[in-house]
Structure 1
Amino acid sequence: MKRLIIDCDPGNGIAGANVDDGLAIALALAAPSLSLELITTVAGNTPSEVGYSVAKDLMQRTGRPVPVVKGADRALYEPAGPWREVLDRRVHSNQLGHLWQGVRQPASFEPTQQEAADAIGQLICDNPGEITLVAIGPLTNVALALQRYPQMAQAVQEIAIMGGVFALDDFIKDTNFGIDPEAAHQVLTSGANITLVPMDVTSKTMMTHGDLDRIAQLPGPLAEFVSETLRPWIDYSMQTRRLPGCWIHDALVVAWLINQDVARAADYYVDVELRPGMTRGKSWRYRPPLRLDVGIDQPEGGLIHVLQSVDNALLLAMLEKYLAMAQPAIP
């Protein structure tokens, strides 16, 4: 059984917030080959305290005893204001808040005193070679944990990251790396064993209302949570992104850990642009030798396993299979 920490920025039930973190958590809870031992939240898709309440509410709703620890409220250096302006208010500027009418909002919870970076670093370093860290939000908590626990880079079994975009129309940068470029740089060049799931591949995933209808027929609180909270997000994605459904970025990371037939990957050196300007936060990848290497330094860190293609039918089948297997909530 693979032991997991999920560091995330969930927004299920929050108007205008992406729901793929919650779907990833639900899959991790449902899959019998995974043991989810800690959830931490970070400012990204939602403010950290909002994500904390979403995750805590899901644990309470499903009767799961997984500890949840609130993490960083802001990036290491990047100003939070412009990002929060877009992420928190876009649904209202698009006048689509009504899509969430009738959707159960998460209860509010008071965070514990422990910091997410310490919770992550301690669990990994106390169990060397046993913990996989699934990082599906900005990498602030992970970078802070590596700063405080330098041995974590060698102690972690794997860091599986959703983030980055290399060659996708309409995107120069993605949210996860763009919100905290310095954190992304620190983690990607840490020398840890890393798998990266960029938007180039997650934008090839798709869940439609028809796919969600099948999940809605499954018994249990996890399937109910997924069907209820993904419904308005699919409508929102269809109207704002002109998609036939919605991308399910973060779920692919967890699915890959269960069954690597769901995607194909190749090894690259990966880093993030830190300089000011429109490309700040943009990710790039390469494999030496380059045909032209003038002004290019030796890469930092090690090669990173980068997912490049996805079997979306298998991904959807896995979600249905494991959500159908999920145990009911504890009374």
Structure 2
Amino acid sequence: MKTQSSLRKIILDTDPGGDDIFAFLWLLSLVKQGLAELVAVTSVDGNVGARSTFSSASQILGLTGFQHIEVGRSFPLQKEVVSDAAHIHGADGMGNLSHTLPPATHRFAEARYSDEVIIDQLNALPGEITLVAIGPLTNLAAAEAKSPGILKKAREIVIMAGAFQCPGNISPHAEFNIFYNPEAAQIVFDSRDDIVVMPLDVTRHLILTPDMAQSVTQTNPDSQLAQFLIALCEFMIGTALSYRETGGIPGFLVHDAATLGYLFYPETLMLRRANVRVETKGEWTRGQTLIDYRRSAKVNANAWVALQVDKIGFFTSFLADLKVLFRTDAHRSANAHGSPH
């Protein structure tokens, strides 16, 4: 249940691909409802390159009327082990649809680095900001390395990452966000003892179907936002079916949205206290996340890990909030073109 007491100041750390964008839009809907404040968006190299994730974040903000929000820029990670996920999300991370949206209003060359944005905001508002990280943890780790102890100044850190009692999605054991930069992930897990983790164990059950997407956009189906959302869904469903991510069900996994489900609808998830470690050296297990299930694990616990999700409750809340965004988008469009009333 949402109440005014759940108002949160949030920094969204993201590498916009398809599921990131749905989480992004859900957050913007919550902001429009007065239930959250988006302090900044910090883009990160991941699903696609640093320039593309920055541009995508800027375009989504512009499309929804939030172009005043700061966007931090990441730096390309020199990786030989793993490539990006453009084959899943499109070359631009948005289903190759970026050309259909208004141009980015933020300039990459003039933007501050994402780790600097995180450090400055946490120092300015200690104990008030929730970090929601839905990409590789490069920016958070860079902030911690540059300013040791800075992540303890966050009110809470919620991440979409890891796979514990299920297969990985980039290797037999590893989830993409961790695998992309496991060293960064371990730095984040070492930074405090209450990291909240939304792993594949729960997100693999969150399949968004075409009917769900249509139900969200029906309030204003001809808007640019609606047409973008439907086209993005079609692209993501195509790749999900190609890579057999949904067991043949037409739809795609909105992994990253689980972070907002936890923050605003915690009753839809069941979490357990855990000691989480990241494999950074294994030849076959690099990027694997491990829970120490031994009796002593809780003594050294560093995380809360979600292992079960109420799918019906999750999607009921998710879709209801997205519909609010489209209703406000319709109102904004009417005002922009002159309402007949």
For the residue of structure 1 that corresponds to 2:136, the secondary structure is coil
Partner of 1:88: 86
* Higher RCO by CA contacts (8 Å cutoff, separation 6 or greater): 1
The two structures have a TM-score, normalised by structure 1, of 0.84
For the residue of structure 2 that corresponds to 1:3, the secondary structure is strand
**1:121–1:299 distance in 2 versus 1, CA, 3 Å:** farther
Amino acid in structure 2 at the alignment position of 1:144: A
For the residue of structure 2 that corresponds to 1:134, the secondary structure is strand
Identify, as 1 or 2, the structure richer in helix. Answer: 2
Amino acid in structure 1 at the alignment position of 2:180: I
Answer yes or no: is the 8 Å Cα contact 1:201–1:307 preserved in 2: yes
1:34-53 matches, cutoff 5 A: 34-53=36-55
Show CA shifts across 1:200-249 (max 9, x none): 11101111112112112133665554333222101221232143111110
Answer yes or no: is the 8 Å Cα contact 1:161–1:194 preserved in 2: yes
Q: What is the percent sequence identity of the aligned residues?
A: 25
For the residue of structure 2 that corresponds to 1:172, the secondary structure is coil
Whether 1:149 aligns to 2:147 is yes
Supply the distance in 1 between the matched residues of 2:131 and 2:193 (Cα, whole angstroms): 11
Partner of 1:181: 182
Supply the distance in 2 between the matched residues of 1:240 and 1:162 (Cα, whole angstroms): 20
CA displacement at 1:325 relative to structure 2:
1.8
Partner of 1:271: 277
Show CA shifts across 1:119-160 (max 9, x none): 011101211111000011000000011122223232110000
Partner of 2:3: none
1:3-22 matches, cutoff 5 A: 3-11=9-17, 19-22=18-21
Paired residues, number: 307
Structure 1 unpaired stretches of 5+:
12-18, 93-98, 291-297
Structure 2 unpaired stretches of 5+:
1-6, 337-341
Answer yes or no: is the 8 Å Cα contact 1:9–1:41 preserved in 2: yes
For the residue of structure 2 that corresponds to 1:318, the secondary structure is helix
Answer yes or no: is the 8 Å Cα contact 1:72–1:141 preserved in 2: no
For the residue of structure 2 that corresponds to 1:183, the secondary structure is helix
Partner of 1:165: 163
The two structures have a TM-score, normalised by structure 2, of 0.82
Whether 1:110 aligns to 2:107 is yes
Show CA shifts across 1:152-209 (max 9, x none): 2321100001001112136311110001011000001111531001111110111111
**RMSD across aligned positions (CA):** 2.7
**Worse-matched range after superposition: 227-236 or 141-150:** 227-236
Supply the distance in 2 between the matched residues of 1:307 and 1:221 (Cα, whole angstroms): 35
Supply the distance in 2 between the matched residues of 1:50 and 1:231 (Cα, whole angstroms): 21
Partner of 2:313: 314
